[in-house]
């Protein structure tokens, strides 16, 4: 039996490495870092569980999960996500890190496995058998890590949406800019009603943001087109409800003007009203704002 503190033998290293052992041993003999690993560069953090480096894999996948979920939660709750340039930079940086550090980390992993297995009294042949069991490669491990990552992410997203659905009314009250926008829409709703009832040729695309319910959940959605009979606003749902899933686009709904959260119409190319829309627009990234303006096709002052 080898001394636990002695340098791992070539046979022990080969037993842990498994496939392509000679390649790694040759690289480590020429360069302590082992050079650049193109497989790890291409497959990034999938490479580490493939080489059965489970502790490091858990740390890397966990760190990525935290970054992705923080970005998702910020997008859900604040309307601000990671810029696309930052996402690309993160992806490239992660790939470069994996390619540059993979061989060095793998060498440390191989040596640690040998040291841990030497703590148990075994014959040399038994030692090599146990090293082979702990080493080698696994095609299932990367798939398992990826599936757990996706399932955990989906679960966190659903949980976040559920919590947001429960507390969003209270949060809306605590959002000064959104509350101010809603108050402004309600104070000026008379301007909207007058334009709606007597529209000029240049005025079109009338819509209101109003609460709708399916009996279980209530949320604000945009209604367009919309009419006013002197008491109620009537129109059809113009966007898919997120929580009031018993309703759908095209369903007819009514509301009193005093209950709406926003209103808007277009005069020529200029947006009139749309106070909450302006707040949300200010909170997205410049590239997303440009895309939103292109799709909405209005001038916003």
**CATH code of the domain in which 273 resides:** 2.30.30
Q: How far apart are CA 22 and CA 114, in angstroms?
A: 17
The pair of three-digit structure tokens given for residue 41, joined into one six-digit string: 């560069």
Q: Do 74 and 194 have their domain in common?
A: no
Rg (CA), the chain: 30
The pair of three-digit structure tokens given for residue 54, joined into one six-digit string: 């489970």
**Residue found by looking up tokens 């935290």 in the block:** 66
pLDDT category at 171 given cuts 50, 70, 90 is very low
- Whether 2 is covered by a domain: the verdict is no
- Whether 3 is covered by a domain: the verdict is no
Residue 115: DSSP 8-state: H
Q: Which of 30-34, 215-219, 252-256 has the lowest mean pLDDT?
A: 30-34
Q: Give me the mean pLDDT over the 232-256 stretch.
A: 90
Q: Do 85 and 232 have their domain in common?
A: no
Between 244 and 205, whose confidence is greater? 205
Q: Do 189 and 157 have their domain in common?
A: no
Q: Among positive and negative, which fits the CA dihedral 115, 14, 97, 142?
A: negative
Instruction: Provide the domain limits for residue 107.
Output: 10-167
Task: Tell me what pLDDT residue 3 has.
Answer: 58
Average pLDDT, rounded, for the chain: 87
82, 88, 93, 99 alpha-carbon torsion, rounded to 10°: 140
Give the model confidence (pLDDT) of 117-169 as tens digits: 998 888 889 999 999 999 999 999 999 999 999 999 888 878 777 765 554 55
Determine contact, residues 28/82, Cβ cutoff 8 Å. Answer: no
Q: Do 204 and 130 have their domain in common?
A: no
Q: Do 32 and 132 have their domain in common?
A: yes
Task: Tell me what pLDDT residue 262 has.
Answer: 94
Q: Report how many domains make up the chain.
A: 2
Q: Which of 85-89, 133-137, 225-229 has the lowest mean pLDDT?
A: 85-89
Q: How far apart are CA 181 and CA 161, in angstroms?
A: 23
Give the model confidence (pLDDT) of 1-13 as tens digits: 555 567 889 999 9
């Amino acid at each position: 039996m080898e001394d636990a503190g002695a340098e791992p033998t070539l046979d022990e290293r080969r037993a842990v490495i498994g496939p392509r052992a000679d390649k790694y041993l040759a690289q480590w003999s020429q360069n302590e870092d082992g050079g650049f690993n193109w497989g790890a560069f291409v497959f990034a953090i999938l490479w580490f569980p493939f080489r059965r480096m489970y502790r490091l894999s858990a740390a890397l996948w966990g760190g990525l999960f935290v970054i992705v979920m923080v970005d998702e939660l910020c997008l859900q709750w604040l309307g601000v996500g990671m810029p696309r340039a930052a996402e690309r930079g993160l992806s490239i940086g992660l790939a470069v890190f994996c390619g540059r550090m993979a061989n060095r980390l793998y060498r440390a992993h191989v040596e640690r496995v040998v040291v841990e297995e030497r703590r148990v009294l075994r014959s040399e042949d038994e030692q090599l058998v146990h090293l082979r069991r702990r080493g080698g490669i696994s095609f299932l491990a990367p798939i398992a890590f990826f599936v757990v990552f996706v399932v955990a992410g989906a679960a966190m997203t659903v949980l976040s949406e559920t919590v947001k659905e429960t507390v969003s009314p209270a949060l809306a009250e605590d959002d000064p800019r959104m509350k101010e926008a809603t108050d402004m829409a309600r104070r000026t709703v008379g301007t909207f009603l007058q334009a709606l009832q007597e529209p000029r040729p240049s005025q079109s695309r009338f819509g209101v943001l109003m609460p709708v319910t399916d009996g279980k959940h209530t949320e604000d959605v945009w209604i367009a087109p919309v009419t006013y009979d002197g008491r109620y606003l009537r129109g059809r749902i113009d966007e898919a409800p997120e929580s009031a899933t018993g309703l759908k686009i095209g369903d007819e709904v009514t509301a009193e003007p005093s209950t709406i959260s926003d209103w808007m119409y277009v005069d020529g190319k200029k947006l009139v009203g749309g106070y909450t829309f302006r707040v949300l627009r200010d909170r997205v990234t410049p590239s997303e704002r440009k895309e939103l303006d292109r799709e909405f096709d209005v001038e916003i002052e």
